[in-house]
Amino acid sequence: MSLLKTTDVIKRFGGLTAVNKMNFVLEEGQIASIIGPNGAGKTTFFNTLTGIYKPEEGAIEFNGHSLVGLRPDQVAERGIARTFQNIRLFGSMTVIENILVGMHTQLKQRGTDALFRTKAFHKEEAEAEAKARELMDYVGLKNVGNELARNLPYGGQRRIEIARALAANPTLILLDEPTAGMNPNETEEAIKLFRRIRDEKGITVLLIEHDMRVVMNISERISVMDYGEKIAEGTPAQIRSNQRVIEAYLGREAAAAQA
């Protein structure tokens, strides 16, 4: 059974069909990418998966259960974590607090525990903080735990977002242009990080990217969208040589550079 499977998903905005009959399958443990021209519907597809938008038609199955009609928090609870194209951190919370918020679904404490500061509460908080620090290390953030998230530079904020998503202990992580605004060196490190997330934590990774160095480098499978539809799918090598993809998306030079 595949981890995620969508059948004929349609999402419209007024007259515009942003996602059109998307059939998409993701196997557990894969690293896969979605690429496509600007405005192809990639982000909208993510939003439909995570419950921010309700699809007009179609089915979404995750782990064998339907996600259609669930609220975003319920989707998150079922094990899908995400980052956003335009970074959305809790700017005036510290880095650690951001990650702790990511752990929301993982913590067992209830209001009464918090009020009476039970042993279990203290234990859980201590563990959570330790885990948060671990995650900071994991994504390569050092000594910024008490810094306000908004005061970090762009690259650092991207890392917090990933750490926050990981904190939810997800089965699947959705990354929307995670390396945008990073320089080549930072991108290099990010690629390594995505690999480790899959290899060490066993989390399935699905990402949207425009940086072909990332996409071609780590994807086991690439799906290409254009005008809401999936126009191609395959391994990096297949996609690189797909004429339609070259024309609509890669451009001659880029294709040449990658070849």
Ligand X SMILES: Nc1ncnc2c1ncn2[C@@H]1O[C@H](COP(=O)(O)OP(=O)(O)OP(=O)(O)O)[C@@H](O)[C@H]1O
| Interface ranges with ligand X (CB under 6 A) | 13, 16, 18, 36, 38-44, 85, 151-155, 181
- CA dist 234 and 224 (Å) reads 9
In the chain the first and final C-alpha atoms are separated, in Å, by 34
48 near Mg ion, rule: CB under 5 A: no
- Kindly tell me which of 43 and 48 has the beta carbon lying closer to Mg ion: 43
CB of 68 to ligand X, least distance (A): 18
Q: C-beta of 151: minimal distance to ligand X in Å?
A: 5
Ranges within 230-249 binding other proteins (CB under 8 A)? 248-249
Instruction: Dihedral sign for Cα 244, 249, 255, 259, please.
Output: negative
Q: Which residue has the tokens 């021209």?
A: 37
Q: Which of 189, 185, 102, 188 is nearest to 138 (CA)?
A: 189
Q: Is 217 exposed, middle or buried (0-12, 13-18, 19+ CB in 10 A)?
A: middle
The H or E element that residue 33 is part of is strand 31-35
- Does 33 bind Mg ion (CB under 5 A)? Our answer is no
Using the Cα atoms of residue 169, residue 47, residue 95 and residue 136 in order, give the sign of their dihedral.
positive
Least separation in angstroms between residue 157's CB and ligand X is 8
With CB under 8 A as the contact rule, the residue among 89, 141, 162, 172 that binds other proteins is 89
228 in contact with other proteins (CB under 8 A): no
Distance, in Å, from the CA atom of 76 to the CA atom of 62, rounded to the nearest integer, reads 12
- The closest alpha carbon to 3, from 55, 58, 64, 56, belongs to 64
Rg of the chain in Å (alpha carbons):
19
The backbone torsions φ and ψ at residue 205, rounded to the nearest 5 degrees and listed phi first, read -120, 130
Interacting span for Mg ion (CB under 5 A) from 15-23, 36-44, 49-57, 251-259: 36-44
43 near Mg ion, rule: CB under 5 A? yes
Q: Which CB, 151 or 241, lies closer to other proteins?
A: 151
CA 254, CA 259: separation in Å to the nearest integer?
Answer: 8
Interactions with other proteins, residue window 16-55 (CB under 8 A): 16, 35-40, 42-44, 47, 50, 52
Shortest approach of Mg ion to residue 254 CB, angstroms? 19
Among ligand X, other proteins, Mg ion, none, the one that 25 touches (CB under a kind-dependent 5 to 8 A) is none
| Tokens found for residue 142 | 């050092």
- Letters for 93-132 (x = contact with other proteins by CB under 8 A, - = none) are xx--x--xxx-xx-x-x-x-xxx-x---x---x-------
Number of residues that bind Mg ion (CB under 5 A): 2
Task: Mark the segment that binds other proteins (CB under 8 A) among 54-62, 80-88, 195-203, 235-243.
Answer: 80-88
Binding site residues, Mg ion, CB under 5 A: 43, 85
